[in-house]
Structure 1
Amino acid sequence: MVVNDDMTIDGVNETFLKERDLGYNDILGKHCYQVRYGLDRPCSEYGKRCYLEEVKKSGKIISTIHDYLTPEGEERFEVITVSPILDQEGNISKSLEASRDVTDRIKLEKEAQRSNIFLQNVIQSTVDGIVVVDTKGNVLIFNEGMERLTGYSAREIMERGHLASFYNIDVARENMMKMRSDEHGPMGKLNPTSMSIITKDGEEIPVTLSASIITINEKEVGSVGIFTDMREILKMRKDLEEAHFQLVQSEKIASVGKMAAGVAHEINNPLAGIMMYAELLRENFIDNSQHSKDIQEIIDQTLRCKKIVSELLEFSRQTVGKASSFNIEQMITKTLNLLINQALFQDIEVEKIIQSDMPEMVGDLGQLQQVFTNLFINAADAMEGKGKLNISVKYDSSRNLFITTVSDSGPGIPKELRTKVFDMFFTTKPVGKGTGLGLSISQKIINLHGGNILVDSPPEGGTRFIIELPLGFVEQPDEEPVFIGLD
């Protein structure tokens, strides 16, 4: 379009006419703002930009994208270039405007921009870590989830870092090989794979990685990986496994307890007969020292059997006995006083750290004394009568729990044996010294009181038992006995 100095149209090309469905007679001599935009006055009088006036003043070419509304209210976009036309004296006599409609392209670009913003928001708001790298491992996208996971900021990684900053490069190469095969998922993709990444602080974090190769025109240009933090999931899985283990242990102990009670009752009668006849024999052979010695051995071994039977019956008890309210510090002190003067404890240093002003607990005082007596004697045996016994008691008011720790300076319990210490008949003591029932009975007493008992061996050595007992005692129900006639 050629425009005169007074803004009337001097000439247009065929394309101009076709786009607007006009003829020459419709536009010649008319003002440009009338034909172009349907205005009755120059654009500048409507507060709009007039490129013809700007070129006339500056004498310079203007090229820009211009948006406007059609009379029907539709938004359109044009690329406009306006150039001055000079007369023979070098003055601007006319202006040449070349325009091209780019509405479709601009709308596509805006739609792509909106989609890009939406995609960026999705990537940044995702809880999982998302990383996009080029074929050299340079990071192109590092979302907020990955920042939280690794401790690196996106700027640190994208400006100075590399994939190898948090991702073992050998594992990365291995995963790329997997993606290029169809053995680990569809070609070009990696199904969820367990691995670990390294944080900025050097911590190793277990994650699950899903990845895909990015291609353009069948050419690899990079890859994208999604990293899912597995710490909480693994913790939940571990907690479930521990809960399952405790359930299996409880069921096993309950079953063994029922069986033990029946066996103990059946054995008690013949043991009583053996004792009675052994006593009669000893009286008959009182003058024969060799026979007396042999009969005494029979009596000693029978008494040992009766002790085992007694402990089996104790293990099979279905309920807590008489419950009362008592001071846990006084109970522990009383238990220690009964043992401290024995030869086994003469070279053992006892240290007590007991919180003051604790509430009284409710439970079977006699049974709990049995538990702590067993723990103290086991500790003394482990230290072979020489070492340090530490006892601490505190009350956790947030959980309403008494937490008692009994630790010794002995050799400790090997890791592979710690899960067995509460099993019936399991003992590390010499043959004839321990029955392997003490800790089984102790665990059952604690469980019947609604508590828990744990064992570990700290890195510094020794063995530590942690007993948790509730403030408000509620007896834990047990199964009915399987042998008819049991008390």
Structure 2
Amino acid sequence: MPTLALISKDPELSQKLVASLEGTDWSVEWLATEGLGDRELQHDVLVLDAAHPGANAWTPTQAMPVLLISEGEQADRLERFADDFVFRPVRRAALLVRLQRLHARSPLDDLRRPYSEAFASMAIGVVVLGPELEILTANPRSHEITGHREETIASQDIGYLLSADDLPRVRGALSQGQYPRAMDIQVLRRDGVSIVCSCSFAPLFGAKDHTVMSFEDVTLQRQTERELVKTMEFLGSLIDASVDAIISTDMEQRVRLFNASAARITGYHESDVVGSVTLEDLLGRATVELVTQRLLSTEHGGTGRLEPTKLDLVDIHGRRVPVQLSASLIYENGEPSAIVLIFADLRDRIRVEEHLAETQKKLAFTEKQGVLAELAGTAAHELNQPLTSMMAYAELLLRQSEPSSAAAKAARVLIREAERMAEIVRKIGKITRYETTSYVGHQKIFDLDRAADGSSEPGAKG
């Protein structure tokens, strides 16, 4: 049986209402004085006498339809909260029509009146769903997002908007009394285009079997996020695949990024470094001070930049590792926020350079030995001819002189020294390498015997 609460101090009005509703299902409760207080009313319709002294200052606190009974001039002043009104004298037919209409109102109708302007001006789409998840109403922003007009969307099932993949998720959650928040859902526009919307669900205040779905189009935002993730993954792969070590720190010089090459060079594992190791632990205090000083100067690549510089860092075992390091400051909003260091391990390069220098040294020595052998061969050839002539003339002089004569003695000396010279020339002709021996003081002279001895180790020095 529907009930109404009458708030009035006029007993005659109460009697007229009771008489007008006699024979109907309506019952009347007259609240003469306490009706405008904080009493919780449990009625289907509230009937307010506009002549009540406190009517102008009263504000309804419950979602209950209000019927105003007025002489006529008060209607405009109380229209802000009245759902309908009748004029005195109250006629039975008009009263019954209005009471039945107010009684048939849904909780949504009770909420629509005070919040209609806010509902229409919301920047996000809002759809109110009935107990069977049918669309009862939607605000203008919902029409813009979905491409539907009010007449094409009203009374449709929620599945009219949601994709076949997302509809079971939404139904399942709501059937279990769960109200998802910020759920990404594929929404089908009227033109057939599928868009991504971030949707939140909540029970309708005053009607727990109704649901409010608020949503906004985040298609471009999600596309941007996916592209950003791809870019971040690519940059991460690029950093990890870099042959050079890459380290990034915050302005407190605590390591925030440590790629695989940095781990290989230093011996540290990424998990042991990021967030716990400082730049000073890796480079040493003196090197860090040098890097910081050069980063802030303009003489080494400009302010905030350090051109490639050879430095040493300290690995996990405390050994110093020669590296070629460059660095730069990262700025955010004009302020430095991070330091990025890129360095290459010079150990292999130094070993190659040392090996190359040694090879070049040996090559130069070999070239010198070749030149020396050619020069020795030429000298031996050129000296042999005059030496042969000298020995022939000395032997001729010896045969033509008396054995005891001075000429014979001189000839024998010439022959002996010529033979000695011939032996020296023979050794010169056999020279294959450069060898020296100690002479007077700290001087070195050519060691002819060792240089012409093929059994000696090549390259040996006296």
Using the size of structure 1 for normalisation, the TM-score is 0.56
Assess if the C-alpha contact under 8 Å between 1:17 and 1:24 holds in 2: yes
1:85 deviation in Å? 1.9
User: How do 1:78-477 residues align onto structure 2 when only pairs under 5 Å count?
Assistant: 78-87=197-206, 92-185=208-301, 187-267=303-383, 269=386, 273=390, 308-315=424-431, 423-424=434-435, 426-430=436-440, 435-442=446-453, 445=454, 453=458
User: Which residue of structure 1 lines up, in the alignment, with residue 109 of structure 2?
Assistant: none
1:315 deviation in Å? 0.7
1:84 deviation in Å? 0.9
In structure 1, how many angstroms separate the alpha carbons of the residues matched to 2:186 and 2:303?
Answer: 49
In structure 1, how many angstroms separate the alpha carbons of the residues matched to 2:202 and 2:444?
Answer: 111
Deviations 1:175-229 (A, max 9, x none): 3333334433354333332223332233333322232222222211222222222
Q: Greater relative contact order: 1 or 2 (C-alpha under 8 angstroms, separation 6 or more)?
A: 1
- Aligned residue type for 2:249: V
Return 5+ residue gaps in structure 1 as ranges.
Answer: 286-290, 317-421, 457-462, 464-487
Report percent identity of matched pairs: 20
Return 5+ residue gaps in structure 2 as ranges.
Answer: 1-126
- Aligned residue type for 1:49: R
Pick aligned residue for 1:50 from 148, 162, 170: 170
Assess if the C-alpha contact under 8 Å between 2:438 and 2:444 holds in 1: no
Alignment: residue pair count: 327
1:63 deviation in Å? 1.0
Helix, strand or coil at the partner of 2:156: coil
User: Which residue of structure 2 lines up, in the alignment, with residue 6 of structure 1?
Assistant: 132
- Aligned residue type for 2:346: M
In structure 2, how many angstroms separate the alpha carbons of the residues matched to 1:194 and 1:18?
Answer: 62
Pick aligned residue for 2:184 from 66, 86, 89: 66
Helix, strand or coil at the partner of 1:166: helix
Assess if the C-alpha contact under 8 Å between 1:308 and 1:435 holds in 2: no
Deviations 1:20-49 (A, max 9, x none): 333322222222322x2377xxx88x6x21
- Aligned residue type for 1:195: L
Deviations 1:297-346 (A, max 9, x none): x9999887665444322216xxxxxxxxxxxxxxxxxxxxxxxxxxxxxx
- CA 67–38 in structure 1, closer or farther in 2 if over 3 Å, else same: closer
Whose radius of gyration is greater, 1 or 2?
A: 2
Helix, strand or coil at the partner of 1:5: coil
The answer to whether the aligner puts 1:31 opposite 2:157 as a matched pair is yes
Using the size of structure 2 for normalisation, the TM-score is 0.59
Instruction: Please report the RMSD computed on the Cα atoms of aligned residues, expressed in angstroms.
Output: 4.2
- CA 38–241 in structure 1, closer or farther in 2 if over 3 Å, else same: closer
- CA 6–185 in structure 1, closer or farther in 2 if over 3 Å, else same: same
- Aligned residue type for 2:447: G
